[in-house]
Amino acid sequence: MNSSPHGPLVTTDFLVLRCVPTGYGATVVTGLSPDQGQLAFVIREGNAARRNMPPFDLFRLMRVGYFPEDKELQQCHEAECLQTFSGITADYMRYQAACWLARLALLNTVPALPHSGFFTAMCVALRRLAEEPEVPVDAVSVGVCMAFLYEGGWLEGYAESSQTFRQCEVLLNMAMGGPVPALTSENWQELLSWALALWAQAECRLP
C-alpha cells in the first residue's frame, strides 16, 4: 500500500468545479468528492506531466489519489479522467447554469463532510446540461437543490403531507438520474422558486 508520513493514499472521485491559475505553472483546482467533501489541489504543470496526469479542466470528472495533509491545498499524486462534460460550452445559457451550480456547491460544502447524493446529483446535472438539450435548465437546477436539501435533512417535514412528499420523491428520483417530468417551463420556474425558498429557510448560501 502506498503511504506517506501523513497516512495511506486516499483515492476518490473528484468533480472539478473551479480552476484558478496562480502563476509559476500552478493551478488551484477546487471541487467535490462524494466521500471527502470539498477538496482543493494545487496542480503544478511539471509534476503533472511527470506523472502523466490528464488536465484538470473545468466540469471534468476525475479519479484522484492523494496523501491527506493538514492544510487547505492538497498535492495530487495520481489522477485519471473518468468523464468530461465539454458539451456544456456549446450553449452559453447552459454554461451559465453549470457555473451557477458550481458556485452553489462550493458555497455550501466543506472538507471532510461526505455528500454522496449531492455529488451524484451534480454529475447528473452536468451530464444533462452537456448532452440533453431537451431537459430544461430550471429542471436541472431544481434537482440539484432538492438533492442537497434532502441529504441535509431539510425535507423531513414534508413526510407529513403525502402530496408534497410524492412531489419530492419524483424530483429526487430525477436528480439521481431518473426521468424528467414532462412539465411546462412555467411549472419548472415555479418549482425552482419553491426549491430556492426552501434553500433560504435552511439558511443555505446562494451565489
At 23-81, the pLDDT tens digits run 788 999 999 999 999 999 999 887 766 778 899 999 999 999 999 998 899 999 999 99
Over residues 91-108, mean pLDDT = 98
For the full predicted model, state whether its pTM sits above 0.85.
Answer: yes
Task: Name the band, by pLDDT with cuts 50, 70 and 90, for residue 191.
Answer: very high
Label the pairing between strands 26-33 and 10-23: antiparallel
CA gap 111, 88 in Å, rounded: 27
Per-residue model confidence (pLDDT) at position 5:
52
Name the residue among 113, 56, 96, 97 with its Cα closest to residue 80.
Answer: 56
On the CB side of 170, CA atoms within 13 Å amount to 12
> What is the pLDDT confidence band of residue 145, given thresholds at 50, 70 and 90?
very high
pLDDT over threshold 60, residue 3 = no
Q: Is 202 exposed, middle or buried (0-12, 13-18, 19+ CB in 10 A)?
A: middle
Show the cell assigned to 202.
435552511
- Paired with 14 in beta bridges are 62
The whole-chain average pLDDT of the chain stands at 92
> Structural domains in the chain?
8-84 (2.40.50.140), 89-201 (no CATH)
Rounded to an integer, the average pLDDT of 84-94 is: 95
Q: Is the pLDDT of residue 6 over 70?
A: no
How far is Cα 169 from Cα 196, in angstroms, rounded to an integer? 17
pLDDT at 106: 98
Mean pLDDT of 129-138: 97
- The angle, 0 to 180 degrees and rounded to 10, between the axes of the packed helices 92-108 and 137-151 is 10
Alpha carbons 173 and 142: distance in angstroms, whole number: 12
Q: Choose from 1-10, 91-100, 158-167 the range with maximum mean pLDDT.
A: 91-100
Average pLDDT score over residue span 80-100: 96
What's the full length of the chain, in residues? 207
- Backbone torsions φ then ψ of 95, nearest 5 degrees: -65, -45
pLDDT in tens, 113-133: 999 999 999 999 999 999 999
Q: What confidence score (pLDDT) does residue 1 get?
A: 45
C-alpha span between 39 and 100 (Å, rounded): 18
Grouping H, G, I as helix, E, B as strand and the rest as coil, residue 78 is strand
